[in-house]
Amino acid sequence: MVTIARVDAPSQAAPSVVLAVGAVVVDAAGRVLLVQRARPPGAGSWSLPGGRVEAGESLEAAIVRETWEETALRTRVECELGTASVEREGFRYAVHEFLLVPVSGTSVHAGDDAGDAGWASPNDLERLGLTAEILAVIACGLAEARTRGLTA
């Protein structure tokens, strides 16, 4: 397991840390599922599915739920990739990143707090304006997916 350190911008007053989850969802063709954020932090930007862990919820259950709520895609957890620290726009998160795969089809549509959702090939990722930190998490997830024989 790797530790993915990413802190976007220091804040004046350190906010409390929120437990969160993020997903690198890959399909058999090696595409990555992305969501366009509808709310802060990062409203309007493309990112990975994810969000806060609810009280009493396991990390694995939280990421499957968040992915479903944001994309209407049923998934299963393959493994945890690591933990990322994110601090920006007055928010501070400890994000547990997971590798997920679809369990029934690859059709998606935006829901919950996502403005849009869709699949992107690895060649399309940089043009979508993803941050270097998100690209690093995706690279980690794609490498793990290849190691596990999940992609072509």
The predicted pLDDT at position 15 comes to 63
Domain span at 68: 2-147
- The domain tally of the chain equals 1
CA neighbours closer than 13 Å in the CB half-sphere of residue 81:
28
Domain assignment present for 73? yes
Per-residue pLDDT tens digits for 40-49: 777 889 999 9
Rounded CA-CA distance 65/78 in Å is 15
CATH code, domain carrying 116: 3.90.79.10
Question: Considering the domain boundaries, does residue 152 fall inside one?
Answer: no
pLDDT of 92 higher than 60: yes
6 pLDDT exceeds 80? no
Strands (E), the chain: 2-5, 18-25, 32-37, 46-47, 50-52, 75-88, 91-102, 114-120
> Predicted confidence band at 68 (pLDDT cuts at 50, 70, 90)?
very high
Do the domain assignments include residue 107? yes
> For the residues of 83-119, what is the DSSP string, one character each?
EEEEEETTEEEEEEEEEEEESS-------TTEEEEEE
Q: What is the mean pLDDT of residues 46-67?
A: 96
Position 13 in a domain: yes
Mean pLDDT: which of 27-36, 40-49, 127-136 is highest? 27-36
**Tokens of residue 25, six digits:** 């969802």
User: Does residue 18 lie in a domain region?
Assistant: yes
